[in-house]
A and B are shown apart, each in its own frame.
Chain A
Amino acid sequence: AQKITQTQPGMFVQEKEAVTLDCTYDTSDPSYGLFWYKQPSSGEMIFLIYQGSYDQQNATEGRYSLNFQKARKSANLVISASQLGDSAMYFCAMREGNTGNQFYFGTGTSLTVIP
């Protein structure tokens, strides 16, 4: 089974609107971390936001927030007030605490912000 699933290969959003990028995960480890990375066309991987499995509140970092629904095993990224510079690939990732500390990545969502 896939550890991380991103079902939206491509998304479009109007500038200044909010957009949600979906991510579901699969683990039986009670200790894990969830991450979102951004990859612009230049290719680098930029860390955006982190959510720990024991965190009670949803993580927020500026215009980024993580909608963490533990029972549903989902960790959706919400980008508010989209900007043209948000156009990029976005990857969801998970790290399990008790099984090697590896990072597992999804296949990514390509976001295009329309002016």
Chain B
Amino acid sequence: DAGITQSPRYKITETGRQVTLMCHQTWSHSYMFWYRQDLGHGLRLIYYSAAADITDKGEVPDGYVVSRSKTENFPLTLESATRSQTSVYFCASSESSRGLREAFFGQGTRLTVV
């Protein structure tokens, strides 16, 4: 299916474990983003990528790692999960050729760290 998909949709993990959230888009969009959504904070940017092999930190990058070896994939890894990383995570993509236009979001991944 065309679009942007995240997996898994729901994940429960234990403190200290490594967990990877997957994001895949079929549009060949240049830009990809990872956000976390917490009550009272809106969406906060974790990492973003302007193209394959180009990534940059956002507002809250600590404890997270990203990679982008292919344009269509942008996985987010929590190296050693903590309870404070319990959140809803959104991946988004945007086409650079359309200038400052909208980003399209995945369905979100609800992560619980116990």
Contact = CB atoms under 8 A, between A and B. Distances in A.
A43 B102 CA distance: 18
A105 interface: yes
Interface residues of B, number: 27
Contacts of A52: 99-100
Contacts of A31: 100
Contact of A97 (B33, B94, B99): B99
Contact of A100 (B56, B88, B104): B56
A43 B100 contact: no
Give the interface size class of chain A: 20 to 34
Interface centre among A45, A52, A93, A96 (most CB of B within 10 A): A45
Contacts of B48: 100-102
Q: Is the interface of B mostly helix, strand, loop or mixed?
A: strand
A106 B42 CA distance: 6
A55 to B, nearest CB: 11
A64 interface: no
Given A47-B102, A50-B102, A107-B40, A102 B107 contact: no
Contacts of A50: 101-102
A105 B33 contact: no
Given A107-B41, A108-B42, A45 B102 contact: no
Nearest to A50: B102
Interface of A: 4, 6, 31-33, 35, 37, 43-45, 47, 50, 52, 91, 93, 95-97, 100-108
